[in-house]
Structure 1
Amino acid sequence: MQLATYILKLDEYMLPCFSKKILGVDCPGCGIQRSVALILHGEFGAAFKMYPAIYTLLLLFGFLLYSSFYTVKYSNKITITLTTITVFLILINYILKFT
């Protein structure tokens, strides 16, 4: 089976949110799987609406992967900045879900 076929069927294999299932409340990570699926389907705006921190999170993980293989000047500052922005976006999104 081709990779594209697996990507299109990604929606069928998503994990449920146990916090939402048990407590009935979204967790700070609710929406990240659907957001990644939307990116893989090419729906970038919808992915941002689903989970606004998705792009900074992907940028952070990409940078961490890159910096593990190559030396990057100011790597710590870049990592801290990206982490701070990502956490800020996650918290703001989480707070806005309840308003």
Structure 2
Amino acid sequence: MEEHMLPCMNKQLFGVECPGCGTQRAIAFLLEGEFYEAFKIFPAIYTMGLFFILLGLHLIDRNRNYSKLVITSAILNGAVILIAYFIKMYFKL
């Protein structure tokens, strides 16, 4: 599966990882059952999963209003992505 992953254009062009670097590898680790490795590669993988689950519920179940949960999970996901990115850049992990 790793042979078919897309390269990060930001890393190729500028030599610096983008905030989303590691998403594909984290998904591959999740599919292999390596949950801790997925978190180490991309800590926002679980908040991203929560976001997509809530977004799917919002689109499928029109009887309930999930918009506040979707917005809250999107903000949480963005915060986790940015915090993890700055920690990774600061400590060069």
Structure-1-length-normalised TM-score = 0.85
Give 3-state SS (helix, strand or coil) of 1:95's partner.
helix
Indicate which of 16, 34, 40 corresponds to 1:49. Answer: 40
Q: Percent identity?
A: 43
2:34 alignment partner AA? E
After superposing on structure 2, the runs of 4+ consecutive aligned residues of structure 1 that deviate more than 6 Å are: none
Over 3 Å counting, the alpha-carbon distance change for 1:71 and 1:19 in structure 2 is: same
Structure-2-length-normalised TM-score = 0.90
Paired residues, number: 90
* Structure 1 unmatched ranges of 5 or more: 1-9
Moved more, 38-47 or 70-79: 70-79
- Matches of 1:26 and 1:64 in 2, distance apart? 27
Indicate which of 64, 73, 89 corresponds to 1:82. Answer: 73
Cα RMSD between the aligned structures?
1.1
Indicate which of 12, 15, 31 corresponds to 1:40. Answer: 31
* Structure 2 unmatched ranges of 5 or more: none
